[in-house]
Every structure is written in structure tokens, then in C-alpha cells.
Amino acid sequence: MNKTITSLLLMLALAACDNETKTTISNGPPEWSKNVIWYQIFVERFNNGDPSNDPTIADISTPTASFPVPDNWAITPWTSDWYTQEDWAAQTGRGLRETMQHRRYGGDLQGVLDKLDYLEDLGITAIYLNPINDAPSLHKYDARNYHHIDVNFGPDPQGDIKLIATEDPADPSTWKWTSADKLFLKLVDELHKRGIRVIVDYSWNHTGVLFWAWQDIVRNQEKSPYKDWYEILSYDNPATPENEFSYKGWLNIMSLPELKKVNVQGERISGHPYEGNINEGAKQHIFDVTRRWLAPDGDNSKGIDGYRLDVADQIPIGFWREYRTFVKSVDPEAYLVGEVWWEKWPDAFMNPAQYANSEIFDAIMNYQVYRPARGFFAGAEPKADARQLADSLNKEWNRLGKPFRYSMMNVNATHDSPRLLSCFANKGKYKFHASAHEDPGYISGRPDEDTYLRARLYLVHQFTSIGSPHIWNGDEFGMWGGDDPDERKPLWWKEYNFTPESRTNIQPGPKTFDSINFNEELLSYYKKLIKIRRENPVLTDGKLAFLKAEKNTLIYKRFNDNDIMIILINLGNETISHDIDEGKNFIDLISGNKFNSGKIEIPSMSAIVLKKI
């Protein structure tokens, strides 16, 4: 039964028997989600495939910026030194990190289309796109429009702006398909032809100050029909010279006005779910936008495969319950993954089971299993030996129902955290002063060889563990960078010659440069691990049992009724041996070596991935 027919039947059932249908369509994650290799793309920094659509000053300007875009602003060259200010930036007299908010490199959807052969060759089977909705910022979490793709990501920005102006944004029947929208649907189609799923990032917690409904409030104040969509604290009194208009911005960021939460029950406790909902008008608009991309013109075979939901814990779970039911009624195979992160930064993570369950999300971005793995493989704070890592992983997996633990998105680096290599090179607490902008001693350039080795051993674990592995774009060919904004550099494609990276303007000490090179060796290693994962289904849905977790030795097996794989990792300084009880005929899928003995030797700082033959 195809997706469209299944969806129609579910919608009919929803109308006829709401309670029964909720149970039917909310039971668990889609089967495909446990069998994918995720690749996250930040479009503005991925690849500039069409310089003719590059943003202008008008496209990126916003009234809440800390300083206006200078008149001599220009696109930053893709291959320039990340740590050197542009002329326009230097002339402002402001610091590097502040002026970076106005940097644009011109990445676009054509740039993604141009790299589809690369992604297919890498072995990627699912794409997670950071927000691509129309917005002035580089990150796109400050939406101008939810229902359109950013005009500078498509081929005709000015034509799209004119077309959008003919719509009533509150009435979906008037919505048009812009050139950027159509190019995105082409991208979805091309990905699907290659067997690659795609999900898109949205924040339903807040919009930008240029969002159409917010602009109506700014103009009309309490007379606006959208006044109840947002957390307005007070309106302007036209009888006074002052502007008394005030509102709640997410994390007090005034460029991100929050949508209004209603029917909130009890006290909101940071890092924990709370009952309530979102204003009905805003919610209906969100549902209309959600349907638009899941089923363009009513056809979910042409739509995306799900959503990544930003700052999910900030939104009441009453909304999320309704949202899940709605999404699954449009496409039962859609995947919902929430950003569920800190209970108390930088020490305590949220319990994922509060959100990854049959009522809310199919998965979360699983930072929870990365931190203890970093403690073991990198020797970073808080340090962990093999037993502590095994205990931490078992704790996280046991919190979750079986189908959910296998569909988790297992991240190690994203747009919100240091890149893998930099996170391993720096041994301090995770996500705490994790950049040279905050810590002058932070290793912001090329890591040492020990870091590369430890990262490779960690990757063996990531690609053989429970949950779907995730790659932050560029990590696979050796990019480094600390926390925001340094993890968002333009990608180091091998066809470009980059200016060496200088760090002297943010770090003390002798003048230091790092050459920028595409790391073919690391890329080949990623390809090998991806191939191992994809060719061995036991790694996607098999059970996991720890055979030895002691000090620097981590050994576990993945198994089902048909297959056994054993992963042996030695972080110690000496060769160790381990007796294999499951039989004598194995092949190491990394080296290709065959073993006909029950005793396996594991060299210092190495990993072996055995498959029974």
C-alpha cells in the first residue's frame, strides 16, 4: 500500500474514530528510521551553486541586529581566512565574533544539488537540513515566512519576493510556489530517486521579527488579529513619546519573539516537559505549513520525510501530542526528532524518554550517549573508563522503549556544538567555554595525531552501536572548529584552495597558521564504516551485549538469530587478547584479516570489527 493511500485511510479513520486512530498512528517510529546514515546540512555554508542569488544587504538586515549591516558589506569569499575580518567588518570597530553574524557565503539549494553524487558515493541515506525557511539570518531560526523556502536559496530572489507579496499569508489557499520552493521540491525528488530520505528543521517556538504576523502586530498593536499569537507584555501608548511595546523573546533574545503558550498547567521546570498548548491560530498555521511540505498539493509521495523540531522542551507537550497525531495522519511514515538537550547546562541532560515515546517524538538528537563516549575515547571531562561508559549507555537505552532506542539520531557534532575533532582535541567539560572566543587556551586549529586516532576509534563505536549514526557536514573530510560560530565554517571542498587559517587575532602567543586541506584518508575511513553499517543489518536492529568493559578495554557484540558481530576496542598502551566464545571463524571488516582461533589479539589504540563467517 503506497504512502498516499495509507494516509487517506488514516485521515478518514481519524475523522470517524479519533481516539482509536491516535493509538494506531502514534505507536512507534517508522521502520526506515533505524536503518539510515544521517547527514546534516547547513545550507548557507554547504556549497554555493548559484552566485547569482547571493544575499544583498536588504535580504539580511533586521531591526534587532546589534549593529546595522554596513553600506560596504559584501559576500565573504568562500576560501578566505575564517579568523580574519572583512574590510567592512574591520571598519565597524567591533569584535570578530559580533561581526560574524553578518557574514554570508552564498550557500544555496543548487549547491546541495551539485553535491548529490558526493553524498550518494559517501553512502548517506538520510539528510537533515537545518532551517531553510525564508529568514534574514544565516541560521534561519528567525523566520520571515514558515511556508516559503529562503528566497536566496533559490534561483530568483526578487521574483520570489514579488510573488510572496501577492499572497495572504494567513490563507493557505492563496499560497504560491516560488522558484525557491520549486527548487527545493526538485531536491526532494532527486534525493528520493537515490534512496535518500530528507527531513527539515523548524522552530515552532518562535519566529523572527520580520515574520508577517509579527509585523502586523508591530503596525497595529492591540488591534492586530494576531496579537494573541505571541507573548506580548505591553503595547505602545500612542499618547506618549516613549515606545512601551514589549514582549518575550526566546532566552531574552529580542530577535526571536515567542509564540504564546496557553492552558499551561503547573510550574514550568527547566529541562522537563510541561502541559499546555500553543495559541490556536498560530497552531493552525503551523499545521498548514507542516502539511505543505509533507504533502505538496496533497501528494505525500512528493513531500519530505519528517521534521527536526527545535528547542522542543520549550513547547508544551499538549501541542506535541496533537502535532504527532496530525503529522502521522498526513504521512504515517514521517519521522519526528526533537531537540531535547539540557536539563541544567552544562552538567545534566534531559531524560529522552520524556519525549521519545508513542505520544510525542520518534527520536531525539541523542547527545546523551555522546558525552560519556567522549569521556572514554577522548579522555575528556568528565572522564569515563569502559565500565562507566557501558553503564551510561545501558542507562540511556533502558530508559527508552526498544523501537525508539534503535531510531535515535546519534550525534557527536552539530550546528550547536564543536566539531568532532575539536571536541576531542580539547579535554574540558562538554559545551563549556568550548571555543577560542571564550577560552584563549582552546585548541581552535588542526588537532594532533592522537586526536585523529581517538576520533577514528570513537567512530567505530558510533557506527556499530544502537541508534542511527549522524554526521555533521564536513566532519567526514577533517574539518575542525569550536562552538558557535566556529563549527559553521564554509565547507572545505577539495576543488577549492583555501587561505591558511590564522588564529592570532583571537588567541595570544606566536603567530600560528593552519593549512586547510580536504582529508581524503579520513573520508575513506568514514566510507568504510558506512559500508559496514549498511551491509550488516544486525548493526541496525540487533541486540547489544557488553562482553568486557574494563579500564581501557571495551568489547561488545551485536547479535540476532542469524548473525553475530563482535567489536573490540583497546585504548590502552599494550596489546591485549580476548577469547571469542561464539566460534572460531571471523573476519575483521576493517582490516580484512581472517581469524581461525578463539583468541584474538587487539593492538594498542586499535579497534577490530569481527563478523562471524
Q: What is the 3-state secondary structure (H, E, C) of 147-199?
A: EEECHHHCCCHHHHHHHHCCCCCCCHHHCCCCHHHHHHHHHHHHHHHCCCEEE
Q: Would you say residue 313 has pLDDT above 90? A: yes
Query: Average pLDDT for residues 311-330, to the nearest whole number?
Result: 98
What percent of the chain has a predicted confidence (pLDDT) above 70? Answer: 95
Could you tell me what percentage of the chain is helix, strand and coil, using 3-state DSSP and rounding each to the nearest 5?
35, 20, 45
Query: Average pLDDT for residues 306-318, to the nearest whole number?
Result: 98
Q: What are 549-584's pLDDT values in tens digits?
A: 999 999 999 999 999 999 999 999 999 999 998 777
Q: How would residue 129 be classed by pLDDT, with cut points 50, 70 and 90? A: very high
Q: Report the 10 Å Cβ neighbour count for 378.
A: 24
Q: Is the dihedral of CA 485, 414, 197, 495 positive or negative?
A: positive
Q: Would you say residue 504 has pLDDT above 90? A: no
Query: Average pLDDT for residues 608-612, to the nearest whole number?
Result: 96
Q: What are 73-82's pLDDT values in tens digits?
A: 999 999 999 9
Q: Would you say residue 207 has pLDDT above 70? A: yes
**Of 570, 488, 443, whose CA–CA distance to 45 is shortest?**
488
Q: Which residues of 122-144 are buried (b: 16+ CB within 10 A; e: fewer)?
A: bbbbbbbbbbbbbbbbbbbbbbb
Q: How would residue 24 be classed by pLDDT, with cut points 50, 70 and 90? A: very low
Q: Would you say residue 246 has pLDDT above 90? A: yes
Query: Average pLDDT for residues 112-123, to the nearest whole number?
Result: 99
Distance CA 515, CA 495 (A): 15
Of 197 and 2, which is predicted with more confidence?
197
Contact 308, 256 (CB under 8 A): no
Q: How would residue 503 be classed by pLDDT, with cut points 50, 70 and 90? A: confident
pLDDT on residue 495:
98
Distance CA 119, CA 523 (A): 12
Q: Is the dihedral of CA 483, 412, 336, 152 positive or negative?
A: positive
Q: Report the 10 Å Cβ neighbour count for 528.
A: 17
Q: Is the dihedral of CA 59, 63, 66, 68 positive or negative?
A: positive
Query: Average pLDDT for residues 114-141, to the nearest whole number?
Result: 99
pLDDT on residue 506:
67
Distance CA 221, CA 202 (A): 26
pLDDT on residue 596:
82
Which three cell numbers, joined as nine digits, stand for 339?
531537540
Q: Tell me which DSSP letter residue 412 carries.
A: S
6-15, 30-39, 125-134, 471-480: the lowest-pLDDT one: 6-15
Query: Average pLDDT for residues 126-146, to the nearest whole number?
Result: 99
Domains of the chain: 3-210+265-515 (3.20.20.80), 212-258 (3.90.400), 536-612 (2.60.40.1180)
Q: Tell me which DSSP letter residue 61 carries.
A: -
Distance CA 476, CA 412 (A): 12
Q: Tell me which DSSP letter residue 605 carries.
A: T
pLDDT on residue 505:
63
Q: How would residue 440 be classed by pLDDT, with cut points 50, 70 and 90? A: confident
Beta strand 126-129 with 38-41 is parallel
Q: What are 368-391's pLDDT values in tens digits?
A: 999 999 999 999 999 999 999 999
Query: Average pLDDT for residues 493-513, to the nearest whole number?
Result: 83
Query: Average pLDDT for residues 534-559, to the nearest whole number?
Result: 98
pLDDT on residue 583:
72
Q: What are 392-414's pLDDT values in tens digits?
A: 999 999 999 999 999 999 999 99
Q: What is the mean pLDDT of the chain?
A: 95
Q: Would you say residue 344 has pLDDT above 80? A: yes
Provide the total of helices (H) and of strands (E) in the chain, helices listed first.
20, 26
Q: pTM to 2 decimals?
A: 0.95
Which three cell numbers, joined as nine digits, stand for 239?
499618547
